């Protein structure tokens, strides 16, 4: 236990920041890159998780439990978002028989 | 112990890249599970034991299983998905990389933000977090239950077959 506790003393906070920003950027690239709606939903989950990890890192480095409570709330929101998003996806598959995101551009015109 | 951090980061970044690049959605889900497990490892390194357990239960145990269910139920595991044009893909990578650079530049000097405070290894334990959650964050906690209820009703409403 003491070994694990000493870990955050060695690693600078910037490295956690770089990791989380890289994960977030990969999520953004995935949303722009793919046309499959289910992969886009997964990339959104990845972005939420990178923010969660950064909140937990700041909370540990500052010894402030509020950040970890926020992570808990973000998990709640993510679970609700996935439930609604996947039911939208099921409805989309039923109505247009495809999960191509480019078919959903009717609001544009 | 620093070695563990870099190992977990490498696994997380590689599997995150594979989520975007792999052809079939099932493979994406599997890689995303690997990514989430390595993030849970990061939580343990950060002394957030409660978060690590909740993360594994909620994400790997519930959300990703729901993703797998939807993929199998709708038979979405096709690899011949239409792709965006090469130009759009190129611009996606460029804009994502630019976002990364801008965020890095904006986050410089973050170490000055840390207030020198007595390091407390116990903040991630259930007892401590529960006390904070049920005293300082009581109203948001109750509001999140309303959010869950509305999400549940919304999911049922959307998933219902509309009668013509």
* Per-residue pLDDT reduced to its tens digit, A27-36: 999 999 888 8
State how far residue B14 is from chain A, nearest Cα, in angstroms: 10
- Residue B158 gets the label, from left (phi > 0), alpha (psi -120 to 50) or beta, of alpha
Alpha-helical (H) ranges within B22-125 are 25-45, 49-55, 64-73, 86-106
Give the confidence band of B38 by pLDDT, cuts at 50, 70, 90.
Answer: very high
> Does the CB of B58 have a partner CB in chain A at under 8 Å?
yes
- Helix H segments across chain A? 2-10, 13-33, 37-62, 66-96
What pLDDT does B111 receive? 67
CB nearest A5 (choices: B121, B133, B136): B121
List chain B domain ranges. Answer: 2-124
d(CA A36, CA B83): 9
Give B137-160 pLDDT, tens digit per residue: 999 999 999 999 999 999 998 888
> Among B128, B64, B87, B86, which Cα is nearest to A68's?
B128
pLDDT above 70 covers a percentage of chain B that reads: 91
Distance from the A73 Cα atom to the nearest Cα atom in chain B, whole angstroms? 7
pLDDT at residue A4, as a whole number: 54
3-state SS assignment for residue A99: coil
**Model confidence at B114: pLDDT above 70:** no
User: Among A45-59, B46-60, B65-79, whose mean pLDDT is lowest?
Assistant: B65-79
pLDDT bracket for residue B115 (50, 70, 90): low
Contacts of A86 in chain B (CB under 8 A): 66-67, 70, 155
Angle between helices B86-106 and A13-33 (to 10 degrees): 160
CA of B142 vs chain A CAs: smallest distance (Å): 11
Residue A95 confidence (pLDDT) above 90: no
Q: Which CATH architecture has domain B2-124?
A: Up-down Bundle (1.20)
Q: Which of A1, A20, A25 best tests the B interface by mutation, with the highest count of B CBs <10 A?
A: A25
Whether the per-residue pLDDT at B84 is higher than 90: the answer is: no
CB contact under 8 Å between B96 and A28, yes or no, is yes
- The answer to whether the CB of B108 falls within 8 A of the CB of A59 is no
Domains of chain A: 2-101 (1.10.287.3510)
Task: Please give the Cα distance from A15 to B56 (Å, whole number).
Answer: 23
């Amino acid at each position: 236990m003491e070994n694990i506790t000493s870990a955050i003393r060695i690693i600078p906070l910037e490295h956690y920041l770089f990791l989380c920003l890289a994960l977030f950027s990969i999520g953004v690239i995935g949303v722009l890159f793919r046309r499959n709606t289910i992969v886009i939903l997964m990339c959104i989950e990845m972005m939420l998780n990178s923010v969660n990890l950064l909140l937990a890192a700041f909370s540990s480095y500052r010894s402030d439990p509020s950040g970890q409570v926020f992570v808990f709330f973000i998990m709640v929101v993510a679970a609700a978002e996935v439930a609604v998003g996947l039911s939208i996806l099921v409805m989309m598959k039923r109505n247009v028989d495809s999960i191509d995101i480019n078919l959903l551009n009717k609001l544009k015109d | 112990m620093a070695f563990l951090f870099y190992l977990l980061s490498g696994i997380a970044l590689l599997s995150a890249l594979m989520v975007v690049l792999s052809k079939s959605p099932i493979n994406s889900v599997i890689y995303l599970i690997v990514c989430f497990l390595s993030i849970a490892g990061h939580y343990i390194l950060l002394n957030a034991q409660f978060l690590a357990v909740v993360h594994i239960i909620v994400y790997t145990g519930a959300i990703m299983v729901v993703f797998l269910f939807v993929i199998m139920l709708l038979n979405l595991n096709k690899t011949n998905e239409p792709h965006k044009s090469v130009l759009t893909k190129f611009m996606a990578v460029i804009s994502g990389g630019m976002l990364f650079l801008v965020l890095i530049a904006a986050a410089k000097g973050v170490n000055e933000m840390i207030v020198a405070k007595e390091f407390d290894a116990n903040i991630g334990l259930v007892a401590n977090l529960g006390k904070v959650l049920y005293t300082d964050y009581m109203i948001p906690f109750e509001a999140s239950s309303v959010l869950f209820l509305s999400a549940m009703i919304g999911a049922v409403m959307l998933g219902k077959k509309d009668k013509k």
